[in-house]
Structure formats: structure tokens, C-alpha cells
Structure 1
Amino acid sequence: MEFLDCVRAGLLGCGIDVGSCRSIGAAVSGGADSVSLLVSLAEIFGAGRVRAVTVNHNIRPDDETRGDAEFVRDLCARLGVACDVVEIPRGKVCEVASERGGGIEEAARFLRYGAFDSFVEKSGVEALCLAHNENDQLETVLMRFIQGSGTDGGGGIRMRRGVFVRPLLSVSRSMIEEFLRSRSQPWRTDSTNSDTGYMRNRIRANLVPFLDAQFPGWRGAVIRGAGKVRDDDDFIDSAVVSSVGKNASSVSRARWDSFPPSIRRRAVQSMLLSAGFSARFPYALMGRIVSVRAGECDSVSFGGFSITADENSVRAFRLDSVEKTRERGFCRSFSAGGRRFVERSVISGDCIAMKDGRRKDVQKILSEWKVPRQSRQSVPVVVDAGTMNVVAVLAGGYGSWIVGEFRAFLEEAGLV
């Protein structure tokens, strides 16, 4: 099949009718994949129905990143395609990576897709084409396998997710380059593609050639296997919607206790997404909530969000939603002994470690201490900012509970 025919088939597979589609977007970086996408879309739709967007992340040398943006702008001008250039301020990617805790690649992706969302809304395109190809799919499946993904990631990249479509997903990189050479169309090469500090690049440079040499036919087998995993993933997703509801950030404890682990894991992810958390929540923390037993309570936090399991429900919420007034909840941070802590009001799901390693619900402790219900929200707890675990409950004359190793820190801070 010729390259343009493959792109047409890919568009159809993404649900795009070339004849009726009024306008289509293309995300273009200047690399071979996105350049081939842009050139083919301009031929298939006509330049007037295509609109391009390029994002300068400003994480490489200035002359290189600006060179990419100028290359895309010039190519669009030659093709007669409208082009939007989005500039991310230098240093912003590193700042977001620090805030989200997911690394440079994840932060760049987060900002890039935010720019794509804005572009789609502003331009009115019916869909935005992304240039992921078959090689990207294989690398993604391998990477997620190595990272320990389950069905929620092991199926690799989907052809369509909302307005984002990937018509090149069944096209090999070699076919892409052959098409561009046949048109005498140059492309840009990202210098970071050879940096093996990135996991994807190590897979591309080391693992893929090894598999090609030792296991002929592995590519087709992995692609087929990923398709089966996506089918399983769709089934589990539908089961979660039936069990928890769409866009719900909480579920009753009775229902939660009846869920198998596979549904619990996906339910936590769904609730976090509904609460506004779009990064990856560490599985080690999520696993505590997934494995909580009937009658037990626990609470974990990461990236400004928390998941709590208390007697009544399991829920996900943004930590900064805690109101910052002494009467109706409060929150402050402080340092002691070189560590960071947060002092805040009690929230549902707070638990503290006991000597035997189990955890106890702070609300139960306050009840046992006979703290009046109307006064409990003014009782401070101290949270270790490194682990987001409650390490102290300070109820004044009613009592105090301090995890032993943290007493010295609280004494230094003048809290005990």
C-alpha cells in the first residue's frame, strides 16, 4: 500500500471522514513523522482545510528549538497551511517537572497537550492529528512492560482518544522516510533523540535492535498482543464506570470493599482524574488504598492530591481544597531538623501509625479522647511532607499521639 493510502486508511480507522471533515489539525515538531503527516494531510484534504500547531518547549539550546519552529513555519507557508507557534517559557518544563514529580518527559508532555487543547478550542478543528507511528507503538509497549504497566498501559498508544487521532500508527518509520525522500522533503532531527538518558531512547538504540536480531517476527506479535490488551482494558474500564460511575471522585465504603483489586486500581485512577489529578500517582502509594482491608482506614497523598479510605467512603480530592481558616480548617508548612512538615486540620481518612505497624483512624482517636465533635476540626495534625503520612495528633488537654521518631522534630518546632 502506498503511503498516502496508508494515511487515508489510518484516518478512516480514527473515525475521520475526509469528505465531510471541515477542518483538521496537525501537530508538527519538524521531525520526519510529523512532516510526513503534514505533507500528506495537505494533499489529502487540501491546504485550506488543514491547520498546524508547533510547540517550542525550550528545553534544548535556543538556536535548535527556534530552528525547529522556524522550519515548521516556513514549511507551512510553502504548503499554504495556517500555522500556530506556541512558546513555552524557558525553565517552565523543569518547574512543572518539579511540581508534578514525573520527570522532564512527563512535564513536557503535560504542557504540550495543554497547548494542544487550547489550539483545538481556539481553531475549531474537528480533530488534531498526532504523528505517532508503528515504531513509537512498539517502543511504548516495551517501555510500559518494563515499567510494570497492567492492562491500563500495556496496550500501548490508542488510535483515537477524544479529539486526538493518530493516523500513522500502523505506518513504519522506514515507510515515512521513504515517502519524504520521494518528495525531496527534508526534516529536522531532535538532538535529544540520541540521548540514552531517556528510557525511550535506550529502548530504541539497544533493545529494539537486539529483538530484531534474536527474535524475527517479534514486531507483529507485540502489535497483535497489544491489541488484545486494549480489548481487555476496554472491558475493565466499562466495569469501573458501572461500579463507580462516570466522573465520580468518591465511592461508598461498602461498594469499595466488594471490589476486586483490578477494579479498585482503576477506580482510584478514575477518581483521581475526576478530582483533577492528571499525572501518574505512584503505585506504591496507590497500592495501600487498593489493598486496604474491610474495617481499615488509610490516607495517602502525592502531587497535591490525596486518596482516603475511611469508614464511610473512599475518595480522591485536591489537598488545597482544605479551607485555611482556624474555624473551618487550616493549613501551614514549616521546617524542623532539615525536614519539611505540614500542620493542618484533621480531614476524613487521616490515619496514624501504631507501634505494631498498623494504622488507626484519627477520628476514632479523637472520639476515644472524648473530643467534642464540633471541636475536632480545630485539632491539628502534623504531616511529614516527604511521605505525606500523619506523624502527630495534637489535641491539647485531651491528649497527643506522636510517632516516636518525629518527637524531636516537633520539639524543635515548638509544637510539643
Structure 2
Amino acid sequence: MASRSTVQGVDIRTRFERSLREHDLTRPGETVLLALSGGADSTALARLFASIAADWRLSLAGLHVNYALRGEDSEEDERFVRELAPRLGIRLAVRRTGPLGARRGESLQMAARRVRYALLEEEQERAAADRIATGHTRDDRIETLLLHLARGSGPRGLGAIPRKRGAIVRPLLDFGRDEIESFLDGIGAPFRIDRTNLERGYDRNKIRLDLLPHAEAILGRRLDRPLARAADILADIDSYLGAEANAWLSRQGDLGEPGGVLSVEASSLAALPRALAREVVRVLAERVAPAMPEPSFGRVEGTLRLASGAGGGDAALGSGCVVRREGDRLRFAPPGEEPAPFRANLPVPGEAALPGGGRVVARSFARSEAAGPLPEGGDRVWLDEERVRPPLVLRSRSAGDRFRPLGAPGEKKLQDLLVDRKVPRSARARVPILEDADGILWVVGLAIAERARVAPGTARILEVAFCGT
């Protein structure tokens, strides 16, 4: 007759494999990088993956991060993981960090988390891993839900720890911490205990040690499964809103380049249902500054007030994204990357100054008076004056700009032209555009429009030149 621990072990493994399949957390033949602290959760994660590695044809790698925050305990954690990993067939990497250097408004625990995920991503690349698996359990998810609820979070925060996000997967979210420890005890597997988890100086520990037991005692029932179910529902709502936000943005045409300046129509954003509008703002902020922490509710609301207002102004979504309203456009940009928009009339003959120095000079003359060969681009161009419809305007680029460059078979996005000509991303917003009533005539220094080229029958020439001073 099988022992209780063996039966329990088989049951845990069966549920573990079912979770991997149902939520597409790992597929046969993949390489999985395990986050290994040495605690009960990560030890169970390692043993469960090792138990299915042969059947699933998995290659297992592991990363242990030693923050050296707990003296000899940190060293013991590292020694434990170094001994465990090779026994389970896990290729282990160990990284030791210096002082964590918490950022403004960031706790030591938040700084450790940020560093840990950054190191996991680095190790994923080195190990050529398909997935990064962490040992978060149902208890971790519930604690996170309640922490976020106390902060007034929306569906994303209340969805708590997602089962997967990008390459990161959490296969133990269907297991309680007590189940994990019983499983390890049943198979006689030791694990490390982090004594700081028993200190009530941290909000998460207060929830674990005081709030949840007290609430369950008052209500007379366990709350872990109902709260975990609520987190699943809220995570699904968040996923739906994210998909709808991305779909809405895809229907808005050319928004700009991710990591650079993005622009949307303010009135269209303001007309969306509020929940969807908030998600659109979050998605735009993430596209502009992927490494920036998610903007707070107050910052998102400030951006939506800017979208619904009649005037201009600025708002900040965080350290990596500034929002500016220009007419009916909201421009999302990294700080300092997007110069103030400009627009200036260019008289003929005459000149117009450019922001940051330089000027553009224009004059016209008869073709018969032309001296020298036709300029081949650069800072001086000739246009067929009869194909130009005044007024002439110099301006900064706008989202959706497109034209047919000289010699091109058809129209091209301005953004694509700038990329093709290898204009640095930081300089693209500063390239002046010359346009007439029909659209772009000259992307200064780069290309003129096919429609305004000088042809054999051209009678008068419009010469436009950029002068650096």
C-alpha cells in the first residue's frame, strides 16, 4: 500500500501538470529557468519540474540571487541551493548583488524584486530559456490582492500576480502554502525558512499573520480559494481591457514609433468608456517607457482630464513619459525627447527661423536664370514653383505624416523615411517639415516630394535652403 506522502506527491504532480497544460505555462521540449531562493515554494517548484523533466523533455536551468541582506542566513540559502540544483539536474547560476540602491518611493523589498527580475531576464538570454518560472503560490496572490485593494488599485492590481506575463510563468498559483509545505514534508525534502517572513514590520506579513486569520475567524470559513477566484476574474477583466485598448489603438492609424513619441486624438480618447480610456493611457505609457513603473491612478486621471479639456497643457505619467496636448492631439513622449511643436510661415522671398537655431531661406527665379546643375538634395533643393500651392509653412512632424518622396513608387510614412535614412530616434522629432496647401514638400535635408520635382518643362524654380546659422 502506498504511503500517504507518496499518494500526496503523485496528487501534487498531477495537479501541477494539469496547471501547466490548462494555462499553457510550459510545453514539452522547452528550456525553463527556475527562480530558486531555497524557500519552500521554490524548492517545491524545482522538485516538481525535475519530476516531469524526462517525460516532458524539459531542460532545466536555475538562478539564485544572493542579496547578502540577512548575513549568514543569506550564505546558508546559497549553499542550500548549490547543493539542491545538481541533484535535480538543474544548471544553476548564482548572482550576488551589491547594495540594492532603492529608488525614490521604493522599499527595500521592491528594490530586491526589481533587481531579481532584471537578473532573471539576463539569465534567460544566457540560458536560451523559453520560460522563467517563479514559485508564487495562492497565498502570495491573495496577499498581493489585499495589498493592492488597500491602495485603491483597479483590475490590473487586483488581478494580483498573473499566471503568465511574457516569458514569466507561475505554475504554483493553484496551490496553497500549506499544501506546498505538506508536500515537501511528505517526501522528506528540506527547505530554507526566511525568518523575516515572521516579522510584523512589513505590510505583507501583517496581512499573512494578522488580517487574514482574523477575517477567517470572524467569518468562520477559509477565504483563500474565494479570494484567489476573485483574482482570476479580475485578471481576466484586465486581460480583456488590455486587448480592447490595443485593438482601439490599432484602429487609430499611425501613432508614432514605440519607445519614442506617440500621438492620439484627444477627443476620441475622451469619448471612450472610462475604464477603457484608462487602459489606453496605461498602454501608451508602457509603449513609450517600457521600464517605467505603471502610472498611478491619479496620473492616469490627470491625463484623461487633459484629453477632455479644451486647452493645451502637460501631464506626467511618471519619470519616463510626459503627455502634452496640442490642439486635439495628445502626445506621449519620453522627457526631453519631444521638443515643443513649432509652426512658422515661410515667405517667398524670405526666411523663417527654426527652434534651436538655424533658418530656412526661400527665393524664386526663372529657370533660364538658373546657374549650375540641379541640386541633388542636401540642405538646398529646387522645386517646380508652379506645382507648389501657397502658403508655405515650416513645422514639426505630426503623427500620420506621409508623402511620396522623389523617385518612390508611392506614398511612404514619414516615420519609415526617417528610419530608412537612419535618423537617430532622439533627432527625429527635430527634423523640420516644409509643406504647402497640398501636403509635404520637403523633409529638410532628406527628401523632396515627387509632385514638386523640377521637370524639363519647369518654367520657374522655387529654391529653398537650410542655413545652420
Q: TM-score, normalised by structure 2?
A: 0.64
Q: Does structure 2 retain, via aligned residues, the 8 Å contact 1:297–1:309?
A: yes
Q: Does structure 1 retain, via aligned residues, the 8 Å contact 2:269–2:277?
A: yes
Measured after TM superposition, the shift of residue 278 of structure 1 is 2.8
1:34 aligns with: 42
2:268 aligns with: 255
- After superposition, the C-alpha distances for 1:266-307 in whole angstroms (9 at most, x for unaligned) are 122111111124313233233211223231333233324322
Separation in structure 2 between the aligned mates of residue 109 and residue 307 of structure 1, nearest angstrom: 28
1:295 aligns with: 310
Measured after TM superposition, the shift of residue 217 of structure 1 is 4.2
2:67 aligns with: 57
- Of 94, 103, 123 in structure 2, the residue corresponding to residue 97 of structure 1 is 103
Structure with larger Rg:
2
The 5-angstrom pairing of residues 51-200 of structure 1 reads 51-58=61-68, 60-89=69-98, 91=99, 93=100, 95-98=101-104, 101-200=105-204
Measured after TM superposition, the shift of residue 146 of structure 1 is 1.1
- After superposition, the C-alpha distances for 1:311-367 in whole angstroms (9 at most, x for unaligned) are 242233221436xxxxxx6xxxxxxxxxxxxxxxxx35xxxxxxxxxxxxxx99xxx
- Of 300, 303, 320 in structure 2, the residue corresponding to residue 286 of structure 1 is 300
Q: Counterpart amino acid of 1:183?
A: I
1:357 aligns with: none
Measured after TM superposition, the shift of residue 67 of structure 1 is 2.3
- After superposition, the C-alpha distances for 1:6-29 in whole angstroms (9 at most, x for unaligned) are 2112211331466x3242221111
Measured after TM superposition, the shift of residue 72 of structure 1 is 0.8
Q: Counterpart amino acid of 1:314?
A: L
2:17 aligns with: 8
Measured after TM superposition, the shift of residue 138 of structure 1 is 1.2
Number of residue pairs aligned between Structure 1 and Structure 2: 329
Measured after TM superposition, the shift of residue 48 of structure 1 is 7.3
Gaps of 5+ in 2: 1-7, 344-350, 358-469
Separation in structure 2 between the aligned mates of residue 45 and residue 147 of structure 1, nearest angstrom: 40
- After superposition, the C-alpha distances for 1:16-70 in whole angstroms (9 at most, x for unaligned) are 466x324222111111000011011111114972111112234x13322232222
Measured after TM superposition, the shift of residue 377 of structure 1 is 5.6
2:241 aligns with: 236
Q: Alignment partner of 2:103: what SS?
A: helix
Q: State the Cα RMSD in Å.
A: 2.8
- After superposition, the C-alpha distances for 1:58-86 in whole angstroms (9 at most, x for unaligned) are 4x133222322221111112323210112
Separation in structure 1 between the aligned mates of residue 70 and residue 222 of structure 2, nearest angstrom: 39
Share of identical aligned residues, percent? 24
Q: Counterpart amino acid of 1:278?
A: M
Q: Counterpart amino acid of 1:138?
A: I
Residues 174 and 79 from structure 1, CA distance in 2 versus in 1: closer, same or farther, beyond 3 angstroms? same
Residues 63 and 255 from structure 1, CA distance in 2 versus in 1: closer, same or farther, beyond 3 angstroms? same
Q: Does structure 1 retain, via aligned residues, the 8 Å contact 2:266–2:328?
A: yes
Q: Does structure 2 retain, via aligned residues, the 8 Å contact 1:13–1:167?
A: no
Q: Does structure 1 retain, via aligned residues, the 8 Å contact 2:270–2:304?
A: no
Q: Counterpart amino acid of 1:309?
A: R
2:435 aligns with: none
Q: Does structure 2 retain, via aligned residues, the 8 Å contact 1:102–1:280?
A: no
Measured after TM superposition, the shift of residue 177 of structure 1 is 0.6
Separation in structure 2 between the aligned mates of residue 313 and residue 56 of structure 1, nearest angstrom: 48
Separation in structure 2 between the aligned mates of residue 118 and residue 299 of structure 1, nearest angstrom: 36
- Of 265, 273, 277 in structure 1, the residue corresponding to residue 286 of structure 2 is 273
Q: Alignment partner of 1:289: what SS?
A: helix
Q: Alignment partner of 1:132: what SS?
A: coil
Q: Counterpart amino acid of 1:295?
A: A
**Larger deviation: 201-210 or 225-234?**
225-234
Q: Alignment partner of 1:68: what SS?
A: helix
Please state if 1:224 is matched with 2:240.
no
Separation in structure 2 between the aligned mates of residue 310 and residue 197 of structure 1, nearest angstrom: 47
Separation in structure 1 between the aligned mates of residue 103 and residue 111 of structure 2, nearest angstrom: 5
Gaps of 5+ in 1: 323-328, 330-346, 349-362, 365-371, 379-416
Separation in structure 1 between the aligned mates of residue 123 and residue 51 of structure 2, nearest angstrom: 22
**Larger deviation: 23-32 or 72-81?**
72-81
1:337 aligns with: none
Separation in structure 2 between the aligned mates of residue 14 and residue 54 of structure 1, nearest angstrom: 26
